[in-house]
Amino acid sequence: MTPWRFCNKCFVMFYDGDQRKGQCAAGGEHVAQGLTFDLPHDRPETDHDQAHWRFCKKCAAMFFHGSPQNGTCPAGAGHETTSKNNYVLRHDVAENFPMTQSAWRFCGRCFCMFFDGFPEKGNCPAGGPHEAAGFNFVLRTTEKAPTKLDDNP
């Protein structure tokens, strides 16, 4: 299991399994809040499972690595990966409470996975709030997810 978490400062999905938490677009390191996510990797892509999601070694965020650009990293320039894991994330399916959470989106400006379930959209390293684009991702949690949006991370 890999400990992926929501950052309550910038709203991105980040890897919380190392002592250093990665550079946050809101300043300092990421701060974990709420659920822990178990994200599948190295399996086939399907109509509802998108591959090419990676760990950024500079900011510890989950970012899309399936295009020539790598988005904007809060640690400077584009995201970088050394991870061999190719994360494959479920999208555009019904939420399966209590072990999943929807409203995770791709930011078309920084290429990170961010939580889009609040009126605020977090801090994007490209400036301003994140901008949702593409699929609505439904991610698997390691514990029972709240059933009301107000109870989410």
- Total domains in the fold of the chain: 1
The domain of 52 spans: 1-153
For the residues of the chain, what is the DSSP string, one character each? ---EEEETTT-BEEE-SSSS--B-TTSSB--EEEEEE---BSS--BTTEEEEEEE-TTT-BEEE-SSS-----TTSSS--------EEEEBSS---TTSEEEEEEEETTT-BEEE--SSS----TTSSS--EEEEEEEEEBSSPPPSSGGG--
pLDDT of residue 147: 56
pLDDT of residue 83: 77
pLDDT of residue 145: 62
Mean pLDDT by 10-residue block, N- to C-terminus, for the chain (153 residues)?
90 95 97 94 96 96 93 96 91 87 97 97 97 96 65 42
pLDDT of residue 90: 96
